[in-house]
Structure 1
Amino acid sequence: MIDVLIAGGGYVGLSLAVSLKKAAPHLAVSVIDGAPEGAWKRDERASAVASAAERMLDVLGVWQAIAPEAEPIRRMVITDSKTSDPVRPVFLTFDGEGEEGRPFAHMVPNTAMVGALRAACEEFGVTVRQSTMVETFESGDHSVAVTLAGGEQLEARLLVACDGVRSKLRDAAGIKTVEFDYGQSGIVTTVEHERPHEGTAEEHFLPAGPFATLPLKNNRSSLVWTERTTDAERLVKGDDFLFEEELERRFGHRLGHLKVVGGRRAFPLGLTLARDFVKPRFALAGDAAHGIHPISGQGLNLGFKDVAALAETIVEADRLGLDIGSLAILERYQSWRRFDTFRMGVTTDVLNRLFSNDITPVRIARDFGLGLVDRLPSLKSFFIRQAAGIAGDADPRLLSGQPI
């Protein structure tokens, strides 16, 4: 029998598998990934890894492999303007340290992160199966019976769904969600520029939504460009000249000539919050539990917080000889994560509504608020610690840099 069966082979599913096997090598852990073999190598995106998540990856022994590809965010600049404004006044800046000597975040190519986690899975003896998925499951008193696509049957003590924001397993478990469609899409691509970015990330609040530039290695930046869905689809499907012209209007010329060096894709943006994170012998983690707006850059880090909390819950229960799949055990994980997830979902929802518009009184009020924060060091310090994922003593051990 498998102890923990994880559905989903992204960064959440893989990091959960590594966390469990590193802390409790005797546990039998398997990952079922529906993507074709090698599909992760074609992912051109990059993600912001907060300081707390970096510490977790370091404890798991994978950060050393990721670090050569990671670019520290040394400074954060926030502006608020119209797309046509010739000058974008800076209302708020953050230094890049969440703690002394440690950047509050790094930008990491997804291929580097997933590749390092896959290597760790192989090292620790995690079984990773590709090109199949969990089709159905049925929870019993002592195990969960799982049927894969193709009919193969498996038995596990616990099934964890890490299968994304449109999780089929969440629906199969009967877990309801709170959902809202923003009518926006996030265009993701990579650009190369003439002048160095010097580790500066910028977020420009424009009427259609935030336009974020995030530093990568070798004079490149990752873009997360929010537009109304119809405009985003037009830009992604349009010709290169039109796309680069609209890009330059938003990016500006401070870093010299721009060249798009990655593919461009648009992802619909919305808010999705699961009403429950657990059922008997079943748990949600990552985007299957919560999908939020990228305005704060915290989506990936919420997933890593789920991993740290769920792994600690499972390992401690196992050490005490308790049933790791029982609802009583899993509810500890739910109570640990649900409020924080709800708080972050509400925060990003409010921020998106506040900044994705061009209503003059609202603009004046928000710019005054940004300027006020910029003048209060203690408040800036609070926000930077939040961005770094540093919450305090309530953090799971892995996020504090301690092994389980």
Structure 2
Amino acid sequence: MNKTSQYDVIISGGGLSGLLTAIGLINETPELSIAIIEPVKPITVNSTNNTQQATKNFDDRCLALSYGSLQLLNHWHVWPQLKPLAWPIKTIITSDRGHIGKTIMRAAQYDLNAMGYVAAMRNMGAAFTQSLNTLIQDKNSNLTWYTPNNIKQVSQQPEQIQLVLDDQQTITGKLLVVAEGGNSPTRQTLKISTSTQAYEQSAIIANIQVNKNNKINDVLSLDETHSQNKHNGESQQLNGHTAFERFTTSGPIAFLPIDKDQYSVVWSVKPEQVEQIMGLPDTDFCQQLQSAFGHAGGVIVKTSKRESYPLGLTKAESIISDRVVLVGNSAHTIHPIAGQGFNLGLRDVAYLVKQIKHGVDNNVDIGAFSVLQQYQAGRVKDISRITGFTDLLVKMFALEGRLPALTRTLGLLALQKVTSLQQWFALHFMSSKV
């Protein structure tokens, strides 16, 4: 008979959300014992203190980190490891292709060095792993990795949760944190239902290189006109730290700066366009993306390997169950418009850690349903706010016709002209309150 190992918190998923949950718990409640279950075998293993290095196969997709997220990562001593691997966004330009509406937000308006940063998932995984390993040593924490492993059976009992892994190991804990991503198998095992709304869009992801050393008369403005005043304004935009959100009738196109002449691109297209665009030679792909986006970011000269996936909005009907909580994409997946997905999940983790710490400080069972209810109640408003707003943007900018276009134009112009409205909009997305 296999021995049963006991822990305070079990985290299912060693990706970014799972790593960050462990980092937050060790920072705030180092006395807790933690287990992480991860199906992808790590590349390197450190047997010291019975811990392993969580080197997941993170890829080169990039994520936008809001100013509020940076504050939390700094509080948990992660940001110093990640900052050298991230690229600052100092200006954000939002526009509607073919129309005059445009909004420009600059970090200097808010006395900030940057509105946020962009980092590759691969680099974030490395920084989180390094921070976690340092914390384990500094705090002498009890953290054990189970990898490569999957959860095969879940038994929710009154005093604990019991898991049987695919190699027949049995582990128990006071609380199970599900951080497995959008297609969470444990969420399905627990029969936690989800509501899904498919958008008539798919995302094409790539990293591109641009040439900005062209004459200003060869660069079209965001509104595709040839006004010299607009060209002069645009020359200030090509500074390597500007992010673009460009709305088209096929869907939004985001250019996130990752170097002075490179962007991470999220190109939302209609599903019937995906196969044709993905099959293009690199040169033709660059030309078609250039035609769809315009020349505001420079002339596209090179692209990386491309990936694509369908877009939709998925929300768990409940983000808690008996001795179980969902965080990140296991709880909600949203459209990449405005780059809010990871930031929303980070706030899940932050609020969960806050509730666990409160339980520990007050000698309360951290897996008690009252604690989990506090977590869910504290996250409902923020999740609804972001999912509702991104859903509205997707639908509003997808509408064709003069009236929707006029409405969008007036909205973007108002956002640009009314300082208080722009400040509300910017702070709405930069906030880290949990």
TM over 0.5: yes
Q: Does residue 1:270 correspond to 2:312, yes or no?
A: yes
* Per-residue deviation, residues 374-398 of structure 1 (Å, max 9, x unmatched): 11000000111012125xxxx23xx
Query: What letter corresponds to residue 248 of structure 1 in structure 2?
Result: Q
Count of paired positions: 387
State which drifts further: 192-201 or 354-363: 192-201
The residue aligned with 1:402 is none
Query: What letter corresponds to residue 186 of structure 2 in structure 1?
Result: L
1:230 to 247, 272, 287: 272
1:226 shift after superposition? 0.3
Q: Where in structure 2 are the equivalents of 1:323-338 lying within 5 Å?
A: 323-338=365-380
Closer/same/farther in 2, CA of residues 162 and 233 from structure 1, 3 Å limit = farther
Query: What letter corresponds to residue 302 of structure 1 in structure 2?
Result: L
Mapped contact 1:189–1:260 kept (Cα < 8 A): no
* Per-residue deviation, residues 207-260 of structure 1 (Å, max 9, x unmatched): 010001011124211101101122123312333233222112124334544233
Q: How far apart, in 2, do the equivalents of 1:177 and 1:387 lie?
A: 25
Mapped contact 1:193–1:258 kept (Cα < 8 A): yes
- What residue ranges of structure 2 are gaps of 5+ in the alignment? 1-5, 44-54, 137-142, 213-237
2:338 to 279, 293, 296: 296
1:41 shift after superposition? 5.0
Q: Does residue 1:346 correspond to 2:351, yes or no?
A: no
1:261 shift after superposition? 4.2
Q: Is the partner of 1:322 in helix, strand or coil?
A: coil
CA RMSD after TM alignment: 1.8
The residue aligned with 2:16 is 11
Mapped contact 1:209–1:357 kept (Cα < 8 A): no
Closer/same/farther in 2, CA of residues 141 and 115 from structure 1, 3 Å limit = same
The residue aligned with 1:166 is 183
Mapped contact 1:21–1:27 kept (Cα < 8 A): yes
Q: How far apart, in 2, do the equivalents of 1:21 and 1:353 lie?
A: 41
The residue aligned with 2:348 is 306
Closer/same/farther in 2, CA of residues 67 and 389 from structure 1, 3 Å limit = same
Q: How far apart, in 1, do the equivalents of 2:340 and 2:293 lie?
A: 22
Q: How far apart, in 2, do the equivalents of 1:111 and 1:216 lie?
A: 13
* Per-residue deviation, residues 53-88 of structure 1 (Å, max 9, x unmatched): 101111111101111122111111111125xxxxx6
1:104 shift after superposition? 2.3
Mapped contact 1:134–1:148 kept (Cα < 8 A): yes
- What residue ranges of structure 1 are gaps of 5+ in the alignment? 83-87, 397-404
Q: Does residue 1:65 correspond to 2:81, yes or no?
A: yes
Q: Is the partner of 1:35 in helix, strand or coil?
A: coil
**What percentage of residue pairs aligned between the two structures are identical?**
27
Query: What letter corresponds to residue 15 of structure 2 in structure 1?
Result: G
Q: How far apart, in 2, do the equivalents of 1:305 and 1:91 lie?
A: 29
Q: How far apart, in 2, do the equivalents of 1:53 and 1:203 lie?
A: 20
Q: How far apart, in 2, do the equivalents of 1:216 and 1:147 lie?
A: 42
1:143 to 153, 160, 173: 160
Query: What letter corresponds to residue 389 of structure 2 in structure 1?
Result: T
* Per-residue deviation, residues 26-57 of structure 1 (Å, max 9, x unmatched): 11112212224347455011110011110111
2:67 to 44, 47, 51: 51
1:264 shift after superposition? 0.8
